């Protein structure tokens, strides 16, 4: 009996530690919601980077660092992430 309980506990720990397995066990709507939320987090990071670039006064230093279209990335990731969240919302709310 002790051996069976330890195997069950070990199995449960494996699921709790492995985020890929947790993601695979989600419904399709849940997976879409997680991806959409992740894209919104990335869009937020892009928004912060765009704000930091706007505060830069030294143009030569800005050109040495490189140029990334932060505003375009912010908009694209925000729109795609919002669309994914909107598509998954009815199924996620319905499962609550």
Q: Is residue 17 part of a domain?
A: no
pTM over the 0.75 mark? no
Domain count, the chain: 1
CA distance 63 to 7: 58
pLDDT the model gives residue 15: 47
pLDDT the model gives residue 65: 57
39-87 pLDDT, tens per residue? 999 999 999 988 887 776 676 666 655 678 889 999 999 999 999 999 9
Mean pLDDT in residue range 9-27: 69
Q: Is residue 11 part of a domain?
A: no
CA distance 88 to 6: 37
Q: Is residue 19 part of a domain?
A: no
pLDDT the model gives residue 62: 63
The range of the structural domain enclosing residue 38 comes to 27-95
């Amino acid at each position: 009996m002790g051996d069976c309980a330890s195997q069950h506990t070990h199995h449960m720990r494996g699921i709790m530690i492995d985020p890929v397995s947790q993601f695979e066990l989600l419904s399709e709507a849940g997976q879409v919601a997680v991806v959409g939320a992740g894209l919104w987090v990335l869009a937020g990071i892009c928004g912060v980077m765009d704000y930091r670039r706007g505060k830069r006064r030294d143009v030569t230093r800005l050109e040495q660092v490189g140029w990334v279209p932060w505003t375009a990335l912010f908009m694209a990731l925000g729109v795609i992430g919002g669309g994914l969240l909107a598509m998954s919302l009815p199924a996620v709310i319905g499962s609550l």
